[in-house]
Structure 1
Amino acid sequence: MVDSSSKPYPLLNSDREQSERTAPSAAERELSELFDELRIPLLRYLLGFPLPPHDSEDVIQEAFLSLFQQMRRGSSIQSPRGWLFRAVHHLALKRRLRSRKDLESAATLLTAETSLVDSGLNPEDELLFHRTRARLDAVVRALPEQHRWCLYLRAEGLRYREIGEILNISLGAVCGCLQRSLALISRAVQR
């Protein structure tokens, strides 16, 4: 006779207390959803740093771990999205200062990404597209670093105030950087 009170699968038949300890908290679920939502935008933002993809992934994981630790301590974070972009920015700067290696640039990664996509254009239109894209890439690369960061963060949907907090610059400076950058880009496209 088999004893029905025995638990042949202790992990599946664990007691309620054990399952409560291993069940994700509301904060953990919220953080997981935030990770799913922001991982790709954060990776795109990190393309502006000369970091290899695996380092970018590490930076993002460090930022989320730091956010989780802040939440555990009970810190009130008004804008987790802005907080994460700021944390990723600072962690990437630290990593860049540590390594200082010549790595693939963001333009190379973007070029590789776009070359994999079949645009469906005829050869003339495709040539025109690639020339325009090359001019845009050159203009963006020629921008001062602060202007590029403002542009990247705005492209990710952050508000001017959040960009200013991340880069530690005034709201007026963010506005000026974006206006000058967009004017240069607009002229490059019109050529």
Structure 2
Amino acid sequence: MRFPDRSGVQLRLQTVPDERSSAEPQAGSVRLVAGVNLRSQVERIYEETRTDLHLYLLCFRLPASQAEDLTQEAFVCLYRALSKGQEILAVRPWLFRVARNLALKARARESAFLAIDPDLDRTIQAGGKNPEESLIERQRMSRLNEAVALLSPQQKECLHLRAAGLRYREIAEAIGISSSTVSEFLRRGLCKLRRALNE
């Protein structure tokens, strides 16, 4: 990923652990300190986070190329915010929130949303399984899709973010709700999925 080079100023992106928890470095406060190139620091964060962010964006039923574009756009937003001196607490949730907003704007333009990767059926079929195994797998995926359709949009989003590796606090920050609400959405969503899949 390439970022514009601004005036050759060398900056260092310093990650300060969040004092409220034992969060890993990317969940800390980001501050600029003279010494290291900002672009290379954002590229490091990009390498660490891009796959999870891209997979999350695919949950919005965006074409893979558009999800990749929005992934990169989220990191460009990070670069711009940091180059303007904005302090960002909890980088990972911040990126997921930006990506979510970008996806919602794209989805509003296209009016399409699906909670499961649209290429999943093709991936399953290309797995080299015999026809019976493929049929069973397609039926299982169909039941899963039907079960996911029963979830509220908030439950779906919390489940996707949890599957992307975010902690409850990070999910709460990413979508603007409390951690206890995240916990309740996840609990209710998983209960609905279990009931639907066990019927």
Which bin holds the TM-score, normalised by the shorter protein? 0.7 to 0.9
Bigger relative CO (Cα 8 Å, ≥ 6 apart): 1
User: Which is greater in Rg?
Assistant: 1
Q: CA RMSD in A?
A: 2.7
TM-score by length of 1: 0.75
Distance 1:55 1:32, change over 3 A: same
| Contact residue 160 and residue 174 of structure 1 kept, 8 A | yes
How far does the alpha carbon of each residue in 1:106-138 deviate from its partner, in whole angstroms, 9 at most, with x for none?
4532222332234x5x66555444322221121
- Structure with the largest fraction of helix: 1
2:93 to 66, 79, 82: 82
Pairing of 1:5-154 with structure 2 (within 5 A): 21=8, 25-97=36-108, 99-102=109-112, 106-118=116-128, 126-154=134-162
> How big is the shift at 1:36?
1.8
| Contact residue 61 and residue 113 of structure 2 kept, 8 A | yes
How far does the alpha carbon of each residue in 1:63-82 deviate from its partner, in whole angstroms, 9 at most, with x for none?
10110111112222232111
Residues in 2 aligned to 1:87 and 1:102: alpha-carbon distance in whole angstroms: 19
Would you say 1:179 and 2:181 are equivalent positions?
Answer: no
User: Match of 1:166, as an amino acid?
Assistant: A
Residues in 1 aligned to 2:112 and 2:83: alpha-carbon distance in whole angstroms: 38
> How big is the shift at 1:22?
9.6
> How big is the shift at 1:172?
2.0
Uncovered stretches (5+) of structure 1, i.e. residues with no partner? 1-19
TM-score by length of 2: 0.72
Residues in 2 aligned to 1:29 and 1:123: alpha-carbon distance in whole angstroms: 48
Q: Which residue of 2 aligns with 1:158?
A: 166
Residues in 2 aligned to 1:138 and 1:103: alpha-carbon distance in whole angstroms: 14
Residues in 1 aligned to 2:8 and 2:153: alpha-carbon distance in whole angstroms: 46
Residues in 1 aligned to 2:115 and 2:157: alpha-carbon distance in whole angstroms: 15
How many residues align? The count is 169
- Structure with the largest fraction of strand: 2
> How big is the shift at 1:90?
0.7
How far does the alpha carbon of each residue in 1:42-71 deviate from its partner, in whole angstroms, 9 at most, with x for none?
121112213222221221121101101111
Q: Which residue of 2 aligns with 1:9?
A: none
Ranges of 4+ aligned residues in structure 1 off by more than 6 Å: none
User: Match of 1:39, as an amino acid?
Assistant: R
> How big is the shift at 1:183?
1.1
Q: Identify which range, 99-108 or 42-51, moves more after superposition.
A: 99-108
Distance 1:164 1:104, change over 3 A: closer
Q: Identify which range, 159-168 or 130-139, moves more after superposition.
A: 130-139
Q: Which residue of 1 aligns with 2:33?
A: none
